[in-house]
């Protein structure tokens, strides 16, 4: 009888402690030996982040695009985890992070401030940035404000030059006029095309292969939650301030000359190849690779290629012998 009781306890007690952990409000739980998943309270918002690797190794903070989340980096993190410490947060209202209250200014400036506070709370003060899509305006704000913390920049279809943003080049074009007067017709058309291009149709962003259905379904679920589309439109309207900030980002690059790796999906018609090449104006030693992929290259066909580029780039340009 005693042996039976002991056997039952070995099964029940671990389950009890796991349940007790969550009842006490635990904010992180290891899903495997390699990845951990966390929620950190940042000024009242629960900000989700996934982490992998050894904190004693060089740190890379991975900033995602929109409407995606840190899940887009799961594959490349898997490939890099043995040589780096990798931290990928979800912005407010993205992925598993909280939707902020109406009092939270939903701008790139404020999202960048939130990410900085998160990193500070985690004790991350020296790191490289991986920036894709909307990750570029979040990351460049971090770099401009805290250049002493940045070890290197990895840019993947994250624009910082007007040369790479055809829709914003005409001062009298639809996009520039929208940023000036917030035209409602343009906004409605943009929402419709955003749903179709980003979440439904196979697209040039992925070299005709279509978006991974697992990630697409997660992105769609996020977007269709109440209030999310309105917040994403606020960010798109605020994107005009990123274009105005380009000169500040260029000054940062010129002054500090950080190691820069550009891995650019050349089939991207939104942020185009001239935007990748333009980095050479300010960082002549920037390393540029044009990939046979699209806007979401890291999450699709080019994951292994990008991981290899990062490994070799760090060995050559970042890690001191």
CA separation for the pair 153, 156 (Å, rounded): 10
Task: Give me the long-range contacts of 275-279 (CB less than 8 A, separation at least 24).
Answer: 275/159, 275/160, 275/161, 275/163, 275/164, 275/165, 276/155, 276/164, 277/163, 278/160, 278/161, 278/163, 278/164, 279/155, 279/160, 279/161, 279/253
Average pLDDT, the chain: 84
Cβ-Cβ contacts under 8 Å for 156 (sequence gap 6 or more): 130, 131, 132, 262, 263, 264, 265, 297, 298, 306
CB half-sphere exposure, 283, CA atoms < 13 A: 26
Residue 263 pLDDT exceeds 50:
yes
User: Which stretch of 177-186, 213-222, 270-279 has the lowest confidence by average pLDDT?
Assistant: 213-222
pLDDT higher at 33 or 228: 228
Q: Report how many helices (DSSP H) and strands (DSSP E) the chain contains, helices first.
A: 11, 9
Q: Which domains does the chain have, with CATH numbers?
A: 28-318 (3.40.50.1820)
Q: Using pLDDT thresholds of 50, 70 and 90, give the confidence band for residue 245.
A: very high
> Percent of the chain at pLDDT above 70?
79
CB half-sphere exposure, 148, CA atoms < 13 A: 1
Query: Rounded to two decimals, what is the model's pTM?
Result: 0.85
Decide: 101 and 94 in contact? Cβ < 8 Å.
Answer: no
pLDDT at position 296 is 77
Single out the residue of 281, 256, 275, 306 nearest to residue 151, CA to CA: 256
pLDDT at position 21 is 38
pLDDT tens-digit map of 85-106:
999 999 999 999 999 999 999 9
Active-site positions read 295
pLDDT at position 120 is 98
CA distances, 267 to each of 43, 63, 208, 290, 295 (Å) = 39, 21, 9, 9, 7
pLDDT at position 198 is 52
CA separation for the pair 279, 286 (Å, rounded): 7
CA separation for the pair 142, 200 (Å, rounded): 33
Q: Which two tokens stand for residue 217?
A: 């379904």
Single out the residue of 95, 145, 147, 92 nearest to residue 115, CA to CA: 92
pLDDT tens-digit map of 277-306:
999 999 999 999 999 888 877 777 789 999
């Amino acid at each position: 009888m005693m042996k039976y009781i002991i056997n039952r306890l070995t099964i029940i007690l671990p389950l009890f402690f796991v349940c007790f952990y969550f009842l006490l409000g635990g904010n992180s739980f290891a899903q495997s030996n390699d990845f951990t998943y966390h929620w950190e309270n940042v000024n009242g918002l629960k900000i989700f982040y996934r982490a992998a690797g050894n904190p004693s190794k060089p740190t890379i903070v991975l900033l995602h695009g929109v409407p995606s989340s840190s899940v887009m980096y799961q594959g490349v993190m898997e490939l890099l985890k043995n040589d780096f410490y990798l931290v990928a947060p979800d912005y407010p209202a993205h992925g598993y992070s909280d939707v902020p209250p109406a009092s939270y200014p939903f701008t790139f400036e404020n999202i960048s401030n939130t990410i900085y506070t998160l990193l500070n709370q985690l004790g991350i003060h020296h790191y490289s940035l991986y920036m894709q899509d909307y990750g570029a305006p979040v990351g460049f704000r971090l770099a401009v404000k805290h250049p002493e913390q940045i070890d290197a920049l990895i840019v993947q279809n994250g624009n910082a030059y007007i040369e790479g943003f055809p829709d914003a080049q005409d001062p009298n074009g639809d996009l520039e006029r929208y940023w000036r007067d917030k035209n409602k017709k343009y906004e409605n058309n943009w929402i419709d095309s955003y749903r179709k291009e980003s979440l439904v149709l196979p697209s040039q962003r992925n070299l005709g292969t279509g978006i991974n259905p697992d990630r697409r379904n997660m992105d769609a679920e996020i977007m269709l939650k109440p209030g999310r589309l309105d917040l994403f439109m606020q960010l798109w309207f605020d994107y005009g301030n990123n274009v105005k900030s380009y000169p500040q980002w260029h000054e940062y690059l010129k002054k500090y000359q950080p190691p820069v790796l550009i891995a650019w999906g050349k089939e991207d018609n939104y942020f185009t190849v001239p935007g990748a090449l333009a980095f050479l104006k300010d960082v002549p030693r920037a390393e540029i690779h044009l990939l046979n992929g699209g806007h979401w290259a890291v999450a699709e066909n080019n994951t292994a290629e990008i991981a290899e580029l990062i490994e070799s780039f760090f060995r050559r340009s970042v890690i001191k012998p």
